[in-house]
């Protein structure tokens, strides 16, 4: 019988190494006690040291985890066992591969994860993962899909073959992986045509759908002149999209912004909506009125657009509490720019006087409608900064339309398009799989 103190010592840093060596020496005789410690609600031992010992024990350690995975009875136990099972490492790649055909879906799913966590070594198991794209359990099929994306472009020829000749149950997810890894260039002409046909089928019934991104940037123009707006912005190659597809592309591109190696990633595309309650919205990080890379160009664009359309606004709203910014231009003049993002020196970007919605919001907070930061107390300044942090979407709505507030009942005329910015023309667009 294994000394329980020996297992507990795995949770004590200065005793861990000696305890691990002793448990490994016990071999299969230590597995049951280690599994018990892994699943115990009051266990003082983290899952990682236990996993390391089970890994060193070898096949009996893997078998113990597999059996525990099948018999786990509560959510906490299941989580810890699954973590350990999928992290025992490349030494068990063959065992993971064999487990892909296990009758229990949970085992198949965690075996797929295990292959993913094998890293470079897992590349040799790619062919065994492909059938699971058609697994009857959708969680298993989704995990196989995600793991194949993780494997990288070397799997593209295998997926293209599935698209050409099947099996049929693998074809849908093979298309998703191809799009995620290689984008449109990785797809056949037939697949591209099928996607475009699906979009055309959905468009007649498409209704406005609110923007949901973590980082939301947009330009708003009080006009339905989509063609003229595209031309004035210098964006090209418009392709019809549903709201779901347009929003998904914008959200994905937004997550790509701020790449340390390439600061211009994420600016390649914009989603130009149909006319919404008299306004056209241009969505995408390229419209950012406050970020260092784009703010000067966006200020220039809005100034020029306001000459033609009377007004041109640009906004930023951080959906995860990352602040707000707004830029209001009218008849060729910037009447207001204000940023409250907590990044850099926001106050240096301030232009013009507060607009009516700002004044009204300050009054609601018990502050003076017009203010001079030099004359305000620190408490008043802090209260306004907190309020302004979340103001952009509501301020936009006060003028007519906000992409975060639109929905199926919003009056709409025309069709939305995805178009290439000058960055997209010169750089191409990132690969990705999106909702239609």
- Write the pLDDT tens digit of every residue in 251-272: 998 887 655 567 678 899 999 9
Is there a single domain that holds both residue 175 and residue 242? no
Domain-embedded: residue 196: no
Compute how many other C-beta atoms are within 10 angstroms of the C-beta atom of residue 236.
13
Residues 209 and 174 in one domain: no
Angle at CA 338, nearest 5°, toward 332 and 340? 155
- The verdict on 168 and 237 lying in the same domain is no
Question: Do 168 and 271 belong together in one domain?
Answer: no
Per-residue confidence (pLDDT) for residue 397, from 0 to 100: 94
Residue 253 in domain: yes
CB atoms near residue 370 (< 10 Å): 10
Return the percentage of the chain with pLDDT > 90, whole number.
72
146 and 219 belong to one structural domain: no
The structure's pTM equals 0.85
User: Does residue 198 contact residue 167 with C-beta atoms inside 8 Å?
Assistant: no
Count CB-CB contacts under 10 A for residue 263: 13
Of 129, 150, 184, which marks where a domain is finished?
184
Would 189 be classed as within a structural domain? Answer: no
Distance (Å, rounded) from C-alpha 246 to C-alpha 385?
A: 32
Q: Is residue 319 one of the residues assigned to a domain? A: yes
Low-confidence ranges of the chain (pLDDT < 70): 1-3, 257-261, 263, 372-376
With left for phi above 0 and alpha for psi between -120 and 50, is residue 251 left, alpha or beta?
alpha
What is the residue range of 385's domain? 204-427
Q: Are residues 380 and 243 in the same domain?
A: yes
The reply to whether 179 and 233 lie within a common domain is: no
Does the residue 286 lie in any domain?
yes
Residue 130: give its domain's CATH number.
1.25.10.20
Whole-angstrom distance, CA of residue 28 vs CA of residue 82: 20
Residues 172 and 281 in one domain: no
436, part of any domain: no
- The pLDDT, as a whole number, for residue 214 is 83
Say how far apart CA 424 and CA 155 lie, in whole Å: 26
Nearest-angstrom CA–CA distance, 125 and 118 = 10
Q: What is the pLDDT of residue 259?
A: 58
Interval 88-122: pLDDT, tens:
999 999 999 999 999 999 999 999 999 999 999 99
Cα(7)–Cα(21) distance, integer angstroms: 11
Residues 154 and 237 in one domain: no
CA distances (Å), origin 222, targets 255, 283, 404: 28, 15, 17
User: What's residue 373's pLDDT?
Assistant: 63
Does 242 lie in the same domain as 150? no
Residue 346, in any domain of the structure: yes
Tally the domains of the chain: 2
pLDDT at 77: 85
If asked whether residues 299 and 213 sit together in one domain, one would say yes
Domain assignment present for residue 394? The answer is: yes
273 and 340 in a single domain? The answer is: yes
Residue 198: other Cβ atoms inside 10 A: 13
């Amino acid at each position: 019988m294994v000394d329980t103190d020996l297992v507990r010592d795995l949770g004590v840093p200065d005793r861990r190494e000696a305890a691990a060596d002793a448990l490994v020496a016990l071999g299969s005789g230590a597995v049951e006690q280690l599994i018990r410690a892994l699943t115990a609600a009051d266990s003082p031992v983290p899952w990682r040291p236990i996993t390391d010992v089970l890994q060193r024990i070898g096949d009996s350690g893997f078998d113990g985890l597999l059996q525990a995975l099948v018999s786990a009875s509560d959510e906490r136990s299941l989580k810890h066992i699954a973590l350990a099972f999928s992290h025992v490492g490349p030494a068990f790649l063959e065992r993971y591969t064999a487990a892909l055909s296990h009758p229990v879906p949970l085992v198949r799913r965690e075996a797929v994860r295990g292959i993913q966590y094998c890293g470079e070594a897992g590349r040799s198991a790619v062919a065994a993962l492909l059938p699971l794209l058609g697994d009857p359990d959708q969680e298993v099929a989704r995990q196989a899909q995600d793991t194949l994306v993780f494997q990288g472009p070397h799997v593209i020829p295998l997926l293209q073959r599935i698209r050409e000749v099947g099996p049929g149950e693998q074809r849908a997810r093979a298309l998703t992986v191809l799009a995620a890894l290689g984008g449109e260039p990785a797809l056949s002409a037939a697949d591209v045509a099928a996607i475009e046909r699906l979009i055309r089928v959905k468009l007649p019934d498409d209704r406005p759908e609110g923007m949901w991104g973590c980082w939301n940037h947009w330009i708003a123009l009080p006009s339905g002149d989509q063609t003229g707006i595209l031309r004035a912005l210098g964006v090209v190659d418009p392709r019809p999209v549903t709201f779901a597809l347009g929003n998904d592309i914008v959200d994905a591109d937004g997550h790509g912004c701020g790449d340390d190696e390439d600061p211009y990633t994420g600016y390649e595309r914009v989603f130009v909506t149909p006319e919404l309650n008299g306004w056209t919205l241009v969505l995408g990080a390229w419209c950012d009125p406050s970020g260092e890379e784009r703010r000067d160009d966006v200020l220039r664009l809005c100034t020029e657009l306001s000459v033609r359309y009377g007004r041109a606004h640009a906004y930023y709203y951080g959906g995860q509490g990352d602040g707000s910014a707004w830029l209001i231009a009218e008849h060729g003049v910037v009447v207001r720019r204000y940023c409250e993002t907590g990044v850099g020196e926001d106050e240096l970007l301030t232009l013009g006087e507060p607009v009516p919605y700002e004044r009204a919001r300050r009054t609601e907070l018990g502050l003076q409608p017009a203010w001079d930061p030099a004359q305000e107390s620190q408490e008043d300044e802090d209260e306004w900064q907190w309020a302004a942090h979340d103001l952009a979407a509501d301020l936009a709505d006060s003028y007519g339309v906000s992409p975060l507030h639109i929905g199926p009942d919003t009056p709409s005329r025309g069709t939305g398009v995805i178009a290439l910015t000058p960055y997209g023309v010169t750089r191409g667009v990132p690969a990705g799989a999106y909702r239609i």
